[in-house]
Amino acid sequence: MIAERFAALSAEVQEAAGDRNVRILLAAKHQPAEKVMEAMKAGASLFGHNIIQQLRATEEELTALGAPDREVHVIGHIQSNKARVALQYADTVQTVDSLKTANRLNTVCDGLDLSRNVFIQVNSAGAQSQFGIDPDDAYALADSIAQLPHLTLTGLMTIGANTTEELDIHRSFASTRELAESLRERGHSNLTELSMGMSGDWRIAVEEGSTMIRVGRQIFGERPKP
């Protein structure tokens, strides 16, 4: 079933994106390594984790199973005491929303002698229930990240408006795209990724310029109970 679902979604995304390349990130929250392995056999190569303990456990099990190379992102809020594990097992952290977090990641990278890509998480809907920086404050954060030697700012991530009003969803994604364009004009030339859209709104996100959608249940089915 995973292979069929992934093939169907890939075709839908390609049709919606036209000539643009939009990647599918599979959110692996609470998914056993065997299901992640099945998705890789179906062609998936980009995975995201919300929970750092699961990130480590899944990655170690996949390595033991001889899994092929894959790209792994942190897509959940990251606590300072989890930064070391996150950076050891993930290629990119999508959820940087403060200079404190950026500085912590850079310090840990320095100690581990590695570099990582990061996205700024933007609260494009202005929702109190969502993590993410206010769009107006993203400029200063981006400029600060540019001064950190172990981090490269390569994208923006947003959850988007949690509403059934499509116009509001469009606006939240459009504002994130416009912010990315403005940051590139400011000199942040590596910022090419827009992680926008999940199972319920990915089509709108793609219309508004997303380069990466985040889905989980649509491919894996219902999450197992933790």
- Residue 212's DSSP bridge partners are 23, 195
Question: pTM of the predicted model, to two decimals?
Answer: 0.95
Q: How many C-beta atoms lie closer than 10 Å to residue 196's C-beta?
A: 33
Residue ranges of the domains in the chain? 2-220
Architecture of domain 2-220: Alpha-Beta Barrel (3.20)
Q: How many residues does the chain have?
A: 226
Cα torsion angle, 132, 134, 138, 144, sign? negative
Using N-to-C axis directions, what is the helix angle for 138-145 and 166-185, rounded to 10°? 40
* pLDDT tens digit at each of 226 positions of the chain: 999 999 999 999 999 999 999 999 999 999 999 999 999 999 999 999 999 999 999 999 999 999 999 999 999 999 999 999 999 999 999 999 999 999 999 999 999 999 999 999 999 877 676 789 999 999 999 999 999 999 999 999 999 888 788 999 999 999 999 999 999 999 999 999 999 999 999 999 999 999 999 999 999 987 766 6
